[in-house]
Each structure stands twice: as structure tokens, then as C-alpha cells.
A and B are shown apart, each in its own frame.
Chain A
């Protein structure tokens, strides 16, 4: 409880105020945008002066002020939703069913509902603004028999429903394109310049998205428009004017002026919302400078070494890592604080805490990659876990232990999966929270439980914990696809599911019962796999699992950059040699990760480039994070090798790593 309070100081003191500032700016920018919208929506080519005069008189009217206040409320609400729903680690759906699960999530449902209502409100304001035939929902008319009655104004209704539809589709697209994902930029710019630079893009993609939304809306209204119309008539006791052409017909919808007004209203709605989102992203990702050490103990929890180790909130960790990467690159005075020794005692506490945290982050990723690679390499079948530990040789144990004690404090961060409540209800057979179709790490929807055990958060006490992370052990372990000498050659990945691992490979592990269960499972899987719909829903999206593995790699990128810059500057700045002691572990960690990443990129789909979508507010940075990580990793190792050169030959490391390092020293990687 205490730690939760301690870590939330950042959300309370920084993130909240940043969000408030972004909302305030969005509200401040609303009047000019609204004025532009009023002019565009009311402008007529034939009477320009009259139109401008009308606009001016409207802008000062009471109804305009009231609708403006409503719009402000909507913006504040959108900003609040942004704050509530933002994430720094994107949720990546690995199959269609997972995406469906995300869309039907109750949390998402609330979001969609809120956007729908806000869309209606904005559309109502637009109707007031445009005026004319859109202004009221009912108008008096005389029936054929001469009796006056209130009739439904369908133009008003179609605009309101368009607002609801656009709001709803905005919220759905937000899930599909990860619009709530806040990415950090490698190019630092001041907020104003960033905003100015992205404004034209926001305008463009709002207009495009509005166009598509209106097209879809018209199709929907054409087929289903009579439903809300009848309902409104019934509830409000209105009548349909039979003399007016109904709008849910081809002739009614082919009204250019109506289409224009629909599009311009949708553009206005999306632009204000996107602008709020843009401002929020810019404000939240602004660099926050943490003190490296504080002279007061009560501020100690706000210092960089302490903040880096915090797990929650993620934004705090990310901003801390960003600050760490920047300080290691740009500010010598803060670097000297990192290299400094504690006053009584003379321990490099700052450096120890920071380097340990960074190395454990990297070791996490290495382990995650190795586990994933093994899952894929064994083609979804559980491999004997004892093989690795039996093969553990004395020469390798030293390396392993290095990584192991780095790993030990926090083994649970790995294997994060997109959380979904839909998971449990859908596939009831699993007790594990990591239900197969939703995990990024398994390639088959109905994987065996043993496999799930492999990917589940690892138990520290289990005997193979320390061994699985050593990459060269894993390499020797049997692989389906490899042609190494002692491994079984089992044919193509489509080999019959019944061919379980032969007993001579795993003499003791799988009992008869387990094998039977596994066979059953494979059979069920085969039967289900023949159903097209299920295949469609459960098939993995290509490269999605790879994206999901690297979803939080921005943190690793900063850790790599920060470490390598610090090591580089330690060559001349580190007076007490505090970095020297950690150099072997840093190098072996980086080289181990390099090996794991290299092997990951040999998998199918891992190195295929994602399609670039230009005009979308959704940030597609997460799709290329793995490439960025690979490039940063190489650059970081090169940064160390070019700085230290042949001095690195004196650093203790395993033969495997020395061979790899030699490649880097000769510029052959």
C-alpha cells in the first residue's frame, strides 16, 4: 500500500497536471476552430458578404455560446478519457479473436458509449451552428386535412446520428490502430514546434477519416435508417411528413449539400478530438528531469535510481528511462553524479542501482526472446525441460550465474500479455491467466499445458530457471528445424501432430497419461482447425506475435543507449572506476541479447516490414520497435568497442561472447 502511494506521487504531481495543461490548451484552441467551422459551414459562394454577416451575428448569439460551452465540456471529457485510457505499451492483438475480445471488453464498451454520446452532443452543436433546415428536431406542419401537428425533421436526426456513428467508429478505430498508445520520439522538440509540425497531419487525417466514416454511415443509414426514425417518432410523439421525401432513399441521400454538411461536421468533430489527443501526447511525453541524487531523504523516492526500479506506473518508468538516456548522452555534470561515490562509505550506489535495473531489463528481454524462440522452434510442442539442465556444462555456468543474479530480483515482468476478460469465458479449458489464443508467445491456439507452463511466469525455484536463459545451451538443444547432429530430424512443421517427441530424447519426462492427453488435444485441435470461421478467428496474424514481444522495447532501447553512453563516457570521466566492475556483465548481457535478437530475426515474419499507413492518428511506432531495438543494440555494442578497442581483450567473458565481440572489434557485424 505504501509503495502504491509512493509511486503515485508522479501521477498526482506531474502526469495529472500535464493532462490538465493539454486540456486547457485544447479548450483555448476551440474558439478559433469553431469560428473557422462556422464560416466554412455557412459560407455560400453566391452571397459571400451576407454569409459573413450571418456568421458574425450567429457567433454572438446565445445559442452559439451555449453550444460552445457544450463543446468545451466535450473536449474536457475527451481529455479525461485520454488520460484514463492512454498506455505507453501498446496492446497488440495476435489473432482476430483477440481483437474481437478487445473490442467487446467492458472498459472499451464504456469508452465507445461515451464517445457515442459526445458525438451526438457535438453533432447537435453542429446542427445549431449550420442552422437552416438542420436546426430543430421537429417542425410544425399541416396535414392534408388541415390540422397542425409536429413533424420529425429528418435532417436534424441524420446529423445527430452521424455524430453518434462517427464517435463510435472513432472509438473502434482507436482500438484497432492503438490510438491510445503514446509513443516517444527520438527527436526532441519544444512542445509548440511539435504541435505546429503535426497540425497539418492531424487536419489531413481528420478529413480523410471523416470522409470514410460518412461513407460508411450513409450505407448504414440507407439500410437501417428507418429504425431510429420510427423510434424517435414514437418516443417523442412526432409524425412523419409524408410530403417530404424520406432521407433513407437513394434520392434523399444524393443531396450534395447534405453530404457536404455531414462531412464537414464529422471533420470538425474528429479534428477537435484528434487535436486534444495530440496535445495530450505532446504534453505527456515531454522530458522530465529527475534528480540523480537528493540531499534530502524525503525526496529520495523521486531520484532517478529509485524511480527506475518502480514498476508502476509505467509512464514513470518510461520517462525515467528517457531521462536516463538523455543525461548519459548530453549532460556531463549529471553523469558525474552517477559515477560519484556515496559520502560515508564510498559505494557507487547510484551507478549500481541504475546499471542493475537496466541490465535486468535487458536480461528480461533476452529470456523472453529465448522462450519464444523455443516455443516456435518446437512447433508448439513442449520440449523436455530437463534437457537443458543436463547439458549445462561447467564452462557455461559462470555466464549463467551472472545473468541469473541479475535476473533474480524481478522475474515476473516478462510474458506480459494483452489482458482480456474475454479470454477466460471463451476457452474454458485453461486455468492459466495466459490463455493460449491471446498470448503472443504461442503459435497454436490450443497448445498443450506443458507449453503453457513454459511460457508462464517462471518460478525462481524451478531447477531450469537459471539454465534456460543461457543462449548457447538453447542452441544445442534439439530443434525441429535445425540440422544439427544430435537433434531429431522431424520433417516439416506440418508434420502430423501425433508424432510426439520420441522417448529416447526425453526418457523420463512425459508420462503415459500426459501423452494421451496431449494426443487428445491435438485431435480436438485438428477437428476444430477444419472449421473455416474458427480458423479465421484463431489464426495468428503474421508478425503480430513478434510485435507483441517487442511491445515495450522503447524501454530497452533507452536502457541500451543510456548504458552504452555511460560506458563510453566512463572512459574519460569515471574517476573511481565504478563502471569497470560492471563492464563484463554489461558486455555479456548485450552480447547475449544480440544473439537472441539475431535468432529471432531469422524466424518467418520477424523481419518483414509492416505496411506503412500514412494518414492515421494511430501511432504505428510500435510496429517497428524491433528494428529500432536491433539497430540500437548494434550501435551500443559498437559504441563500447570503438571506445575501449583492444582493452576489451582484458575483460573476462566466455569464449562464445569473446568470439562475438571479436566480430564487433573487426567491424564485421
Chain B
């Protein structure tokens, strides 16, 4: 069942500080006993049962019918059936051939090709219309084109993702599981209030606010293939949307009664070569926005109000796929399509390079105090942790004194559970991570295998504690209706009674799962209105013997 083995994880770390000193520090790897974390979890629910909430330190479940009733009573639980969305089938490349007027002159066609396809398009056009142009021109352009293609294929063999279409690229690097087939493509809670934005398959964005009757629908000509949305912190109106060709920042007045804000409310931010955008992150202070594109080796730092962007370029990686800004604003995680990720320090914008052994960094999340980074690597079934100690206060030269090596904190390799419905295999590669704002629950979305019925995608929830030492404890699996697999998850940024996990399912349903607990770190004052379920006291003793990971104090 388990594979008892010793596995060596070599994580090397290089810090390259460009200006102050060119040191190269390489920390050696270390050996970890492979621990199968999932074996300690309670088994998954039988079919027909769905997870409702956590209370009294255990996950409660209900049957589907009960669940339905509960869902319908809750105003924020939404259901977007696939049929209700009006999908427009647009394939520009295929329709172009049907409409292109071939009786145009060569000049016109060349100009059109230059506009649509750039230099290669122009060469292609000249080569194809060899009846009209001089022979030497068509031959030479053909040769140039062949040379360019050879070079780009060489470049593409270095970075295979460059040959993908932009839709494929978005699907590949998105944090959403199976993005291209997803009804809900992106989801974002507002950082301060109870409203959220939902990006749907038909490229519209809806904003739901429990305090307001209107649900504005945002549509824009350029808003296509939304990969991520995020609200600006310390602001009530601004919503950044990562689109296929540009970045949109909507300003949606919460007091407005309009259900269709005009496209004049959106700022368009674009930079040549910076598309498609797969990830965006606002700084927690709300002043800057970073965006990433796998096609662009530079990460853009936008000053949104003045619509100016600063590209931060570093050699290596071939693009940037995923960004995550630490909650204290001091670091930004930027992963690349190759086996390398960077941690930027945001004061002077210098970065540390972290080469991985196996694959690219798929996902990552920061602890609430910004001192610890958890990340997962494609092709591996473990969660790594990096610990950042604060720089000494008041030091003006900012060289971040980071950790030397990443530690494995959890191993989520495949584990078989015997349930009444047969064996279920849980585990494998990790799609995304989410840590709740109190730092007490960690949700892990496991990819599963879409082909095999007994390997569902599932969300595993850990209990975490960072004081006095970092600990991981099992909590349980979150499951939805039969046949629905989780695609996307996010924690509510300020849920009063613990943590609230919002999950978007493949059926188009959005559900919210509360985890009721008393947070140890946050002082409790003025808890007005008791939660609907009895709020239990935490019982840490139960799982003390089952601790999955405990940081060793040195």
C-alpha cells in the first residue's frame, strides 16, 4: 500500500544578489523519511454524502437532499448550470479564411498580414503569393521564414510551453483544475467585505453582494479567457481581471444601481508581448499590481492609477506563470514554466532563484505573517516549506536573509481507502494550495485522475499551527455532490468564526464550507451574533499523537 522508501530531496538554492555581492550559496539536500500524510486522514465520505462544515473539531456531512435545502437557503451559494450560459463559438483563425477577400492587391494583403501576424505573417504571405512577386523575393522570404521557424522550434524545444496556443497555456498554468472546461473560471472574495466576483465560461464577470439586490455583470470587448480576478485591497471598487490579451481593472461603484457597468469603467493595461496573462496579484497595501504571462520573461509591476508598468526582467525560466504576494507585502512568489521559481523581495525588487529538481512550481501560498511559504512542485506529491526570517529592523540595505533549503512538510502520495462503495485512491499531484487568513487551516486541491472513477479530485484540509512551532495535523476531506469535482477554492479573507472555504465545483455550483473554531492567534472581542452552529472549543489533544509534521526546534 505504502511505498516504504527513503527518498532524497535535493533542493538547491542560489541567491544572486545583483548589486551588492555576487555570492553563490548552495545548500545541500537532506533526507526525509517519506511519510504518507493521507493515511492519517479519516476516510472519504460514502457516495451521496457531502461535507457541510467543521464543528467540534470534526467535519460534519449530510446527505444530498439535506444539503440542497441548506444550499438554497443560503443566499451566497450559487449555481451556474452549464446550459444557462450562452457560449459564443468564436474561432477567429478559422473564420478568417472564409472571409478574406483574395482579390485584394498584394500590398493590401501584405499590410493585413503584417498587422495580423507580424513579421512572420508578412513573410508567409509573400512566400505564398509567389505568382505575383519576383522570384528572388519569394525565395528569400521563404528561406528567412524557414530559418525563423527553425530558430523558434529550437527556442520552443528549450521552453516547450512557447509552442502552445494561448488557451492551452492558460489551462496548463491556471490554478483552476481543468480550466478550459470550467463553468466558473475564476473567483475572488473582496478582501474586506462579503462580496465576491465570479468569472464565468462566457467571459462575463458577476459581482454578488449580500447587502445589495443588484448583481452587476461586467462585460468588455477585451475580456476574454479570464484566468484570474482579484479585488484591490484597501479599496471598495477596483477589480483586476487577467484576460487573454490584456489586464483590465474595473471600477465598480458599490452604490451604483446599474447592472451593466459600461466598458468605460474599465482601465486597460497592456504591454507588448505580455499576454496571455495567467496570474495577477495586488500588493496588500493596494498600491501595486503584478501580472505574469508565460510568454513574457518579464514580470510587470503596474502602477494602476497612472497606467504605467515596470517590467522586471530576469534571465531564465522562459516566462512567469503564477504569482502570490505575501500577506505582509514583503515578498512575491513568481514561478516559471521551467524548474525554477523566484522569490522577489518587494522593497528593492531583487530576487532569489530557487531551482527545483523535478518540475515547475505549480502553486504556493504564504502564511498570514508572511514568514513561511508553502509550495508544490509539478510531478511531486509533497508540499515544501520555506521559512523567511524578518530582516533586522531598520536595515536600509535590503538583502533578504532567506532560508537555505526547502523542507518537506507533507507527503500526499496516493493512499487507498476502503469505503462501502469500494476502494478509493486519494492523493497524487497537487493543483493548488490555500491557507486561511488566520493560518489555522490549509486546503489542498488534489488533481486525481479524471479518467479513473476511483481516483477523484478531492480537497484535503489540514490543521496548521505556526506558534510556537509549525505543525500540520489532518482535518479531513471536503467532498461535494456525487459526480461533482472541485475545481477552484478560496478562503474568505475575514470570516469571524474561524475559516470559510469557498469551493467552485465542476457542476457550476459554488458552495461555502465554514470551519468553526476559535482562532488561537486572534484576540476575540465583540463577537456579535453567535454562529448558527454551536461553536466548540478546540481540542488539540486528540490529534497530538497524529501530528504529521512538526518543526524541530534547533
Contacts and interface: CB of A to CB of B under 8 A. Distances in A.
A289 B234 CA distance: 28
B284 to A, nearest CB: 11
A84 interface: no
Contact of A192 (B18, B254, B288): B18
Contact of B305 (A331, A631, A668): A631
B394 A331 contact: yes
Contacts of A330: 347
Interface stretch (A109-117, A425-433, A635-643): A635-643
A668 B348 contact: no
Interface in B390-437: 393-396
Interface in A2-23: none
Contacts of A257: none
Given A190-B19, A627-B306, A668-B254, A197 B393 contact: no
Contact of B310 (A197, A331, A612): A197
Contacts of A621: 306, 308
B255 interface: yes
Given A186-B288, A331-B394, A667 B192 contact: yes
A252 B192 CA distance: 70
Interface in A177-210: 185-193, 197
Nearest to A201: B311
A667 B254 contact: yes
Contacts of A642: 192, 234
B287 interface: yes
A332 interface: yes
Given A197-B313, A333-B394, A667-B254, A631 B347 contact: no
B234 A624 contact: no
B285 A639 contact: yes
Interface string B306-329: 111011110000000000000000
B305 A193 contact: no
A167 B468 CA distance: 67
Contacts of B395: 331
A186 B234 contact: no
Interface string A532-548: 00000000000000000
Interface in B170-208: 190, 192-193
Contacts of A192: 18-19
A233 B349 CA distance: 59
B235 A624 contact: no
Interface string B321-343: 00000000000000000000000
Interface string B348-388: 11100000000000000000000000000000000000000
A189 B348 contact: yes
A634 B350 contact: no
Contacts of A197: 310-313
Nearest to A565: B285
A625 interface: yes
Contacts of B237: 669
Nearest to B304: A631
A332 B393 contact: yes
Contacts of B310: 185, 187, 189, 197
Nearest to A634: B235
A334 B310 CA distance: 28
Contacts of A193: 18-19, 349-350
Contact of A187 (B234, B288, B394, B396): B288
A29 interface: no
Contacts of A329: 285
Contacts of A634: 234-235
Nearest to A289: B396
B393 A333 contact: yes
A473 to B, nearest CB: 25
Contacts of B348: 188-190
Nearest to B190: A667
Nearest to B347: A330
A331 B347 CA distance: 11
B303 interface: yes
A35 interface: no
A668 B288 contact: no
Given A624-B307, A628-B306, A331 B393 contact: yes
Nearest to B194: A667
B286 interface: yes
B183 to A, nearest CB: 28
Interface in A612-669: 612, 621, 624-625, 627-628, 630-632, 634-635, 638-639, 642, 667-669
Nearest to A639: B234
A628 B18 CA distance: 31
B305 A632 contact: yes
A331 B193 CA distance: 29
B11 interface: no
A612 B307 contact: yes
A609 interface: yes
Nearest to A664: B236
Contacts of B236: 638, 667-669
Nearest to A568: B285
Nearest to B301: A187
A332 B390 CA distance: 12
B349 A188 contact: yes
A332 B330 CA distance: 14
Interface string B19-36: 100000000000000000
Contacts of B190: 667
B350 A190 contact: yes
Nearest to A612: B307
Nearest to B306: A624
A412 to B, nearest CB: 29
Contacts of A632: 287, 305
A187 B349 contact: yes
B189 to A, nearest CB: 13
B305 A628 contact: yes
Contact of A635 (B18, B235, B301): B235
Contacts of A190: 18-19, 348, 350
A668 B255 contact: yes
Interface in A149-195: 185-193
Contacts of B235: 631, 634-635, 638
B287 A188 contact: no
A625 B308 CA distance: 11
A329 B285 CA distance: 10
A573 to B, nearest CB: 11
A332 B328 CA distance: 14
A630 B307 contact: no
B311 A627 contact: no
Contacts of A627: 305-307
Nearest to B267: A609
Interface string B76-115: 0000000000000000000000000000000000000000
A53 B376 CA distance: 56
Given A186-B287, A187-B288, A634-B235, A624 B308 contact: yes
Interface in A432-471: none
Contacts of A334: 394
Contacts of B301: 187
A638 B233 CA distance: 9
A515 to B, nearest CB: 43
A25 B285 CA distance: 36
A331 B288 CA distance: 19
Interface in B280-299: 285-288
Contacts of A609: 307
Nearest to A186: B303
10 smallest A-B Cβ distances: which pairs?
A: A333-B394, A624-B306, A631-B305, A638-B234, A667-B236, A628-B305, A190-B19, A627-B305, A333-B393, A635-B234
Given A193-B18, A628-B306, 9 more contacts: A186-B303, A188-B349, A197-B312, A332-B394, A561-B287, A627-B306, A631-B304, A638-B234, A638-B235
6 contacts: A191-B19, A331-B393, A334-B394, A624-B307, A631-B235, A638-B286
Interface of B: 18-19, 190, 192-193, 234-237, 254-255, 285-288, 301, 303-308, 310-313, 347-350, 393-396
